[in-house]
Amino acid sequence: MRPAAINILSRHELEACKRCDARHQGLCDALHDDDLHFLSDAAHRSAIAKGEVFVTEGNPARNFFNINQGAAKLYMDLADGRRQITGFVGVGDFVGLAAGTRYAFSAEAIEPVQLCRFDRIELRAVSARFPMIERRLLEIASHELVIAQEQMLLLGRKTAIERVASFLEGWYQRTLCADPGAPLDLPMLRGDLAEYLGLTIETVSRVLASLRRQGVVAVATDHRISILDHARLAAIGQIFA
């Protein structure tokens, strides 16, 4: 039988969960509102400042993180001191799922982030009660593998313009923008984007200028980018449904 009541603090946090931007994305969408408090009770909510690292490569992987607001970059430090950005995460993304006993990457907020931290043992107990959480975690892990494969293709085979086009259309799809003509919310620095795509900042700028001349995107004076022709952008990026 389900508990008949929960304490006032839990009720307050549960209402916050229902209003959360990530409520119907990622892990949280696996549970009905009536059962959401089980997941809410296991969550440890945190506010992460821009520039703060909340996952450190090599540290024991004791927690998973669900991004509720904001965005972060994932990166790895190479032996020669260089740093490689391996991805960007935003609302609804689950961070740390594929890690072994230690984190294989670091995560840094690129804008103020609100997240829920889940202890592995506590989350395992909740997923044992609700198999749909286990299934959702498997879906998330499978999606991460697909993203890793796409990144290998992007860096290994695609041209500069194909890389930029792939990223812009992919970021648009993940942000679920209600207005197709609205500027994309790109919180990452141009340098971070260039590093992720394996390009120089100058090359990224030249590619954006080319896409603008073709009427595919519009670039405002504040560097905000609007996609004007999604079909053309997807074709350039070799994105297939």
User: Three-state DSSP class for 9?
Assistant: helix
pLDDT tens, residue by residue, 81-131: 888 898 899 888 888 876 678 998 999 999 999 999 999 888 888 888 888
Mean pLDDT calculated for residue range 132-159 = 75
For residue 211, name the pLDDT band (cuts at 50, 70, 90).
very high
pLDDT tens, residue by residue, 160-190: 999 999 899 888 887 755 566 678 888 999 9
Which pLDDT value is given to residue 240? 52
Q: Residue 208 above 90 pLDDT?
A: yes
Mean pLDDT calculated for residue range 67-82 = 90
Q: Given the structure tokens 């405002």, which residue do they identify?
A: 220
pLDDT tens, residue by residue, 1-11: 333 333 434 55
Query: Could you tell me which residues come within 8 angstroms of residue 200 by beta carbon, excluding any fewer than 6 positions away?
Result: 194
pLDDT tens, residue by residue, 14-66: 676 767 776 767 777 777 777 777 777 888 899 999 999 999 999 999 998 99
Side chain identity, residue 31: L
Q: Which two tokens stand for residue 134?
A: 């286990």
Which residues does residue 219 pair with via DSSP β-bridges, in sequence order? 225
Which pLDDT value is given to residue 74? 93
Which pLDDT value is given to residue 177? 55
Query: Could you tell me which residues come within 8 angstroms of residue 33 by beta carbon, excluding any fewer than 6 positions away?
Result: 18
